[in-house]
Structure 1
């Protein structure tokens, strides 16, 4: 019987072959630091505030005091057009900013570092928008401007957290982890 096994081994191309082991097993993903986790929740809160700003802004635009101020500046014939333009601006800017902030929060949480640069641009543009809301030619300071200001402050705090040393190490480690994972799969 041992002679039969020896003959079978000679004809079996897989006899004696050991299963291949990967060169390097992928290491566990780096632990997410509290700075990134906190920044994630701050950005989600900022996105929620930007969405809350929409009905707050619409309510402020529809007040009689605002319509009187717009009428005194642009003429009463332009009140409906101006009001609809302001409402449209609140809706589109609020929805797009909320989507961008949420995407930045998710990508940062996943370990991508590049969204931090986009976040800086979003914070700057939103801060400029807040400045315009506070110092517009219309005298009324809308409650929406205060909501926007709080959103900007939350986004600014998240930006600072995402550039701290633990966050930087996390983003670098995640980049190396993804590269290592790709090389093992290849």
Structure 2
């Protein structure tokens, strides 16, 4: 049975990001951090194997970041082109003159607002973000049983922080996609209204 949730519907109409606790559930990341702490002294996993797996996970995470950036860039370009075409269509049809349907004018203006919001949010995905990398301080030998294990654990700890950052970026990307979708729907509905009027 499908439940009607007004807040969920409103979130699709006015795309705003969810709270960070929803995007990055604390219990999930606490579990990751606990597991990393357990790995520090777990002799069952060989040091070299642990480091190799951490490197693979790091490479996967970097590929995910690249995908997020690529999709945000494509969305910005598409929204910019769509906004330009919408503005041109408004000028060509003379919608703001005496013959323009007020419903069509409102649909076009709302679509332009959604396109602008889409671009702003996609720019935020490309904007300044905190990335965690292994630095010189992390390369100093520690109390870990081996240097390879120490390095693997540092990689994994940074990886968790990057997951959280990426989840925020994905949330912003979803908001931009929803805004783009809403703009297209408004243009289609406005076009249908123009044909019928």
Question: Fold match, TM over 0.5?
Answer: no
TM-score after normalising by structure 1? 0.31
TM-score after normalising by structure 2? 0.30
